[in-house]
């Protein structure tokens, strides 16, 4: 469980307030879609939750522990339990899909295994299972350079899961994908929350995908959460609250 109280983010050079006194609770297994117009603060919110951006003010409680004033080392340990999925995920295009997935396992392994990249048999089987989970078992041996944009995004999801991720934060995971691929990525994310009880928070620019696949929708406007509801088709009034 995550509890955030009065999250505020300002740019120190201009004193511009990007996020303004946000307070919310996130339960384990939530799938939250964050929607809002350009410049509303969606990505900044995601990076603050991932501890990739510093907070100006606010309290951050994770699994009962206040991590607001945690040391750099403690925050690094927490970040190993979380995965941040970029809009264009970093993958080694010269490696196969399964080897890219396995590279996620090395991040949380010993220094020797990280350097030598020696995979245990169980690790390899788990990587293959996860590729099957996202519908790419038949592409496991192919070079990632030969995969489509949607397939690469699904490899990145499997790579995040092999780390033993407790929370996945995805920044616009379907941007630029054709509708069929975007739907498949969103189906995978929803399946993960339902079957593995992993918390997922993702920003989206396509509201209809949030309505169809998420469990909760957060509407962001002017650095504030103006809407927090169970996912469903939004009314015209609700849309206008978010997209002024």
**131-152 pLDDT, tens digit each:** 988 889 999 999 999 999 889 9
pTM: 0.87
Residue 138: give the domain boundaries: 87-165
Q: What pLDDT score does 235 carry?
A: 96
Question: Does residue 34 lie within any of the structural domains?
Answer: no
Regions of the chain short of the pLDDT cut 50? 110-116
Question: Does residue 181 lie within any of the structural domains?
Answer: no
- Distance, in Å, from the CA atom of 212 to the CA atom of 182, rounded to the nearest integer, reads 12
- Distance, in Å, from the CA atom of 109 to the CA atom of 103, rounded to the nearest integer, reads 10
Residues 6+ apart with CB under 8 A from 173: 85, 87, 153, 157, 185, 186, 189, 202
Question: Does residue 156 lie within any of the structural domains?
Answer: yes
Question: Does residue 216 lie within any of the structural domains?
Answer: no
Q: What pLDDT score does 55 carry?
A: 93
Q: What pLDDT score does 120 carry?
A: 62
Q: What pLDDT score does 113 carry?
A: 45
Q: What pLDDT score does 187 carry?
A: 93
- Distance, in Å, from the CA atom of 167 to the CA atom of 73, rounded to the nearest integer, reads 19
Question: Does residue 93 lie within any of the structural domains?
Answer: yes
| Strand-pair category, 2-11 with 16-26 | antiparallel
Q: What pLDDT score does 244 carry?
A: 77
Query: How many domains would you assign to the chain?
Result: 1
């Amino acid at each position: 469980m995550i509890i955030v109280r009065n999250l505020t983010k300002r740019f120190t050079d201009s004193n511009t307030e990007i996020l303004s006194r946000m307070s919310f609770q996130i339960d384990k297994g939530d799938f939250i879609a964050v929607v809002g117009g350009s410049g509303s603060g969606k990505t900044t919110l995601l990076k603050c939750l991932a501890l990739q951006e510093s907070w100006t003010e606010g309290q951050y409680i994770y699994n009962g522990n206040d991590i607001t004033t945690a040391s750099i080392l403690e925050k690094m340990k927490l970040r190993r339990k979380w995965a941040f999925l970029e809009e264009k995920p970093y993958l080694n295009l010269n490696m196969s899909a399964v080897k890219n997935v396995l590279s996620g396992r090395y991040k949380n392994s010993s220094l020797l295994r990280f350097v030598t990249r020696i995979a245990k048999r169980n690790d390899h089987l788990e990587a293959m299972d996860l590729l099957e989970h996202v519908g790419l078992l038949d592409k496991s041996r192919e070079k990632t350079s030969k995969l489509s944009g949607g397939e690469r995004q699904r490899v990145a999801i499997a790579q995040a899961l092999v780390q033993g991720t407790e929370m996945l934060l995805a920044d616009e995971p379907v941007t630029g994908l054709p509708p069929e691929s975007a739907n498949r990525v969103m189906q995978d994310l929803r399946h993960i929350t339902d079957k593995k009880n992993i918390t997922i928070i993702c920003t989206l620019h396509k509201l209809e995908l949030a309505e169809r696949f998420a469990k909760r929708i957060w509407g962001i406007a002017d650095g504030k959460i103006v809407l927090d509801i169970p996912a469903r088709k939004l009314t015209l009034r609700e849309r206008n609250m978010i997209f002024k």
